[in-house]
């Protein structure tokens, strides 16, 4: 477990393997956002999330032109991914 990763340390889990997670057939873009936040260990902007995901080979069902726009559309405003109204970053509830 990465001791600098606040989320994983708090949950007592290892860093997620995003590449391995992308092989799961029922994985949604919202799940990928939550995993990216877990991997980062703290809040991120949608742009930063999109940058993290851009380095991955997303399956065709998740890959979309304009990834930041697709991420915004996938986010439903409900836990576990929530938005800080002050700074606009997204974090895990």
Residue 81, SS3 per DSSP: strand
* Statement: residue 1 has pLDDT above 70: no
C-alpha–C-alpha distance, residues 1 and 14, integer Å: 5
Nearest to 21 by CA among 72, 63, 58: 58
- What count of other Cβ atoms lies within 10 Å of the Cβ of residue 52? 18
pTM for the model = 0.84
Kindly report, residue by residue over 60-75, the tens digit of the pLDDT. Answer: 877 766 677 777 777 7
* Statement: residue 3 has pLDDT above 80: no
């Amino acid at each position: 477990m990465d001791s600098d990763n606040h989320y994983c340390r708090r949950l007592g889990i290892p860093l997620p393997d995003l590449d391995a997670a992308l092989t799961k057939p029922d994985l949604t873009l919202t799940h990928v956002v939550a995993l990216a936040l877990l991997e980062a260990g703290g809040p991120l902007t949608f742009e930063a999330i999109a940058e993290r995901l851009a380095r991955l080979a997303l399956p065709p069902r998740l890959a979309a032109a304009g990834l930041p726009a697709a991420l915004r559309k996938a986010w439903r405003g409900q836990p576990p991914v929530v938005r800080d109204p002050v700074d606009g970053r997204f974090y895990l509830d």
